[in-house]
Each structure stands twice: as structure tokens, then as C-alpha cells.
Amino acid sequence: MATRTRRSQRRTEALSRERIVEAAVELLDAAGESGLTFRALTERLATGPGAVYWHVANKDELLAAATEGVVTTALTEAAVPPEDSPQEGVRAVALGLSGAIEEHPWLATQLALQLARNPWGTVTARIFESLGRRVRALGVPESGWFTATSALLHYILGAAGQNAANATAPGTGAERAEFLGAVSAAWKDLDPDDYPFTRAVADQMREHDDREQFLAGIDFVLTGITTLHPPGAPPRTPPAGT
């Protein structure tokens, strides 16, 4: 009995939490959240469920760990040299997260859940810290740190999630250029009295590049932040009565 117990302990120690999370990410990438089951996980790891439960209590904890692992890697790879501007740092973080969401289609949903249900968790804190340090370096006064960082965070995750959905959206199976051409043509056919603006930008929509548009949005947000909080300016005083 003692020998079997020691062998079981050795197998449990050999199967690290990191390896379990890595296998979970592989399953999520291949089949989405529905494909991540403890049965599939134990088969992939060639182990028993007890060894997995030793490290991870349930599926929610496993999803959170997989999300944290992917986000940590994305943010680490997004590091820029200290001499680069805070704006370049924000763009690097944005592109890192966008790339991770594109590579792992399940990530956008999990990030939204983490922000809504577990804002005190490490996933939210890691992203907020990465963006917040750059916001502080822009010269934004402390009173504006939370709002400015939140605006960047929500834009980045929202736009990146939408772009990822566009890339994987079901449809006719046409290539992207054909798809955008069809949408552009449909917009041009809209009633000119009800949709004058949409008709006017139909050609721009057809020709746009998601990455360029994404970065343009980042620049809009950064311009707004630095316009409202120019470096060296005193903190803005709220209007009376607010």
C-alpha cells in the first residue's frame, strides 16, 4: 500500500499545473469551451482524474487558469524597450491582446466573463496594470487614471473580440474581400433617405483593414486622453454641482 501511495504521489508531482493548463488551452483551441472536459483532459494527459483534481478543483478554475496563462504570455511578449513612448507601449499591449484573442477564439468570451464576474482576479489586474502604467507615464493625473485606463481596456477587448468574431463568423464561405464587397453593395442599396451616412461609407468599409482600423481606434482614445489631460497640466476641476 505504501509503495502504491508513493508512486501515486510521484505521478501527481510529475503532472504539473502548468502542463494541465497547457493541455486545457490546446483543447480549447481545438474544440472551444464545450470540448474542454475533464475526461478529454485526462485522455490527453494520459492520467487519471484524481491527478488533475489534485491541481485544479473544477472547470471554472481551469478556464480561469487557461485565460491567465494566455494573457500572461501575450503581455510578456508585448513588452517594449524603456526608451519607447507610453503610446507605443499601449499599442504593443493592444496588439498583444488582439493577437491572443485572434489565435484563441475562446479567449474573448472568457475575458469578458473575468471582467464581469471576477474583477478582483489576476487576469483583470494584469491587463489593468499593463495599461495603467502607460496611462500614468502619459502624465495623466491620478484622478483620471482609472477612467482613462478603463476606456482603453474596454475599447481594446471589445474591438479585438469583434475582429476575431469577424474572422471566424459563419457565412457563405466567401473570401473576406468578397464578403466585404457583398456587404458594401448591400449598404449602397439601402434607402438614401434613411441611411445617407451608411451609404456614403460603403466603399470605405469594403476597403478597410481590421488591424489598421484597430490601431486608429487606439490613437483616437489616446488623443482623447492626452487632450483632456495634457502633461504638466493641473488636475481638471469638475463643474459645480456634479
Alpha-carbon distance of 141 to 129, in angstroms, equals 16
Q: How confident is the model at residue 5 (pLDDT cuts 50, 70, 90)?
A: very low
Q: What number is the average pLDDT over the span 67-95?
A: 91
CB 164 within 8 A of CB 70: no
CB 225 within 8 A of CB 135: yes
Higher pLDDT, 171 or 121: 121
The domains of the chain are located at: 82-228
Residue 150 pLDDT greater than 50, yes or no: yes
pLDDT given at position 153? 95
In the prediction, which pLDDT does 191 show? Answer: 97
Q: pLDDT digits over 152-187, tens only?
A: 999 999 999 988 887 665 444 457 788 889 999 999
The yes-or-no verdict on residue 238 having pLDDT over 80 is no
More confident residue, 151 or 242: 151
Q: For 82-228, CATH number? A: 1.10.357.10
pLDDT band at 118 (very low <50, low <70, confident <90, very high): confident
DSSP secondary structure letters along 56-107: --SHHHHHHHHHHHHHHHHHHHT---TTS-HHHHHHHHHHHHHHHHHHSTTH
Contact 226, 151 (CB under 8 A): no
Return the number of other C-beta atoms located less than 10 Å from residue 131's C-beta: 24
CA distance 93 to 170: 29
Given a cut of 60, is residue 138 above it in pLDDT?
yes
Averaged pLDDT for residues 226-234: 78
Q: Which three cell numbers stand for residue 142?
A: 491620478
Global pTM value: 0.82
* pLDDT score recorded for residue 97: 95
